[in-house]
Structures are given as C-alpha cells and as structure tokens.
Amino acid sequence: MKTALITGCSSGFGREIAEHFLDRDWKVVATMRTPREGVIRASEHLRLVALDVTDPQSIRQAVEAAGPIDALVNNAGIGLMSALEGTPLATIRDIFEANTFGPMAMIQCVLPQFRARKAGVIVNVSSATTLKSLPLLSVYTASKAAVNGFTQSLALEMAPFNVRVGLVLPGRSPETRFSRAAQQRAQSLEGAIPDAYASFAESVIADLRQGSPLVTHAEDVAEAVWRMVNDAASPLHVPVGADAVALAEAL
C-alpha cells in the first residue's frame, strides 16, 4: 500500500485530496498546523501530523514522522487580497514563506529518499491566477508564479532519477474558506488597501462576490492530483476546474 504526505489538510482542497486518496486505498499522512480529530473522515490508514511549512524544524519532524512516502502533495498556502502599495514587506515575505519557500523546503526534505529509490511523485498546488492576472492579487499571484517556475525546472532536474514533478492550477472555489480568509487577512492589515484605492477595491470585491458560473470544486482538485500521482503520462501542469480550464483555453 502506497503512502501520500499531503500538506494543508485542515480544510478545503487539502481535506478533499486526503479523503480522495484514502478512498482509493492509499495510506495518508495528513498535515496541518494543529491536528484535530474529525477534520478528515476516520480511517485506519490516516495519520494526522503537525506541520508548519514556514518552520524548518517542523518540516523535518513531520517528514521523519511520516517515514517512507510515495507522493508529496504541496497544498498548504495562504491568500492575500490587497493593493501592493499598502502591503507591508513583512506581509509579502509571510506570503512567500508559506506559498513558495514552504513547498521548496518540503521538497528538499523528501528528495533524498525519492532520489535514492529512483521513485516518487511531487505535486505542487498552484493557482489559475497565474494564467490571468487579477487586481489586488499581485503578491499572491507572484508567490504562485514562482511555484510554477521552480516546478517546471525541478521536473527536468529529477527526470534522471525517475522522480516525477507536476503542477495543478485550480480556479476559484466558493466552497472553501480560502477567498474569505484572503480578504480577512487584508482587512487585518492597517492600510493594506489605501483610501485612494477604496472605490476600485469595492468594485473588484463586488465582482468577485457576484461570481462566475464557472468555478472549481474541491473534488475537481482532488481528482486532478490523484491522476497526476498515478498516471506517468500526466502533463507537467494541469488547469483544474471549469473556470481554470476556460482561462487556459483562452490563452
């Protein structure tokens, strides 16, 4: 029985990915900052492990606790909706620590075992915002565009070792707390949206709330990750969800 280590499983895509793998007879090491029973459907093949992807010691401990794994799914991340002018550099660094450096550090920690076995799959969860830029998301989009870039290069580095690396790019999901958390994070930052941007920001947020009939469902992401892990012929990057697919086709 194979094992997947999945980050960011407390809700949303991560939780759905974990349950998807459990339903298909994989062992799952589901990580989150504060593990809580009941967040993911109970299974004898499920292990909950504490992990903060911005903390090197936490990463080492989580990977050691997981033991040998066959797949790493880097799903953990945070959003931010703000105007660049009003976003403190410390906050920008926090976004990159979670969204970009976190996956890099996780990968560095598992590569030795994958390389030694000449087997393993890494899937990084990015974002469809990298397909079409949106206002007030410059910092978040930059952090995910960096993930896209290093994933593409890493895939070439690891090919000689038979380690596959892939990228899924989900669109907007009204089912998860991610978008709401991104707005709340901005609201907690004094001046994140300066007064000069207020009317513009209101119109952007209103458009987002009105939404598009095309959205991404959590099960779409879980199935895309599953296929990428289990299909050696899977493309390097896959847009996920009706909205993401539409953006990709429009390019």
pLDDT, tens only, 206-226: 777 776 788 999 999 999 999
Which entry of 126, 138, 143, 173 is annotated as an active-site residue? Answer: 126
CA dist list (Å): 103 to 8, 32, 192, 199, 203: 11, 14, 26, 36, 33
Flag whether pLDDT at 183 surpasses 60.
no
Each residue's pLDDT tens digit, 13-57: 999 999 999 999 999 999 999 999 899 999 999 999 999 999 999
Give residue 184's pLDDT: 57
Give residue 175's pLDDT: 60
Listed by start position, the domains of the chain span 3-250
For the chain, the first-to-last Cα distance in angstroms comes to: 40
Which numeric CATH code is attached to 3-250?
Answer: 3.40.50.720
Tokens of 248: 């990709």
Q: What percent of the chain has pLDDT over 90?
A: 77
Flag whether pLDDT at 187 surpasses 70.
no
Flag whether pLDDT at 246 surpasses 70.
yes
Which of 64-78, 153-167, 236-250 shows the lowest mean pLDDT across its residues? 236-250
State whether residue 52 is helix, strand or coil. coil
Task: Examine the residue annotation and report whether 118 is marked as an active-site residue of this protein.
Answer: no
Which entry of 127, 140, 143, 197 is annotated as an active-site residue? Answer: 140
Number of Cβ within 10 Å of residue 90's Cβ equals 8
Which one-letter DSSP state was computed for residue 120?
Answer: -
Task: Examine the residue annotation and report whether 199 is marked as an active-site residue of this protein.
Answer: no
State whether residue 172 is helix, strand or coil. coil
Which amino acid appears at position 159 of this protein? A
pTM, two decimal places:
0.93
Task: Examine the residue annotation and report whether 234 is marked as an active-site residue of this protein.
Answer: no
Residue 188: which pLDDT band, with cuts at 50, 70 and 90? low
Q: Judge whether 99 and 106 are in contact, CB under 8 Å.
A: no
Flag whether pLDDT at 176 surpasses 80.
no
Task: Examine the residue annotation and report whether 10 is marked as an active-site residue of this protein.
Answer: yes
Residue 117: which pLDDT band, with cuts at 50, 70 and 90? very high
Residue 98: which pLDDT band, with cuts at 50, 70 and 90? very high
Contacts of 241 (CB under 8 A, 6+ apart): 128, 170, 171, 172, 173, 214, 215, 216, 217, 220, 221
Which entry of 82, 127, 143, 144 is annotated as an active-site residue? Answer: 144
Which of 1-5, 116-120, 163-167, 200-204 shows the lowest mean pLDDT across its residues? 200-204
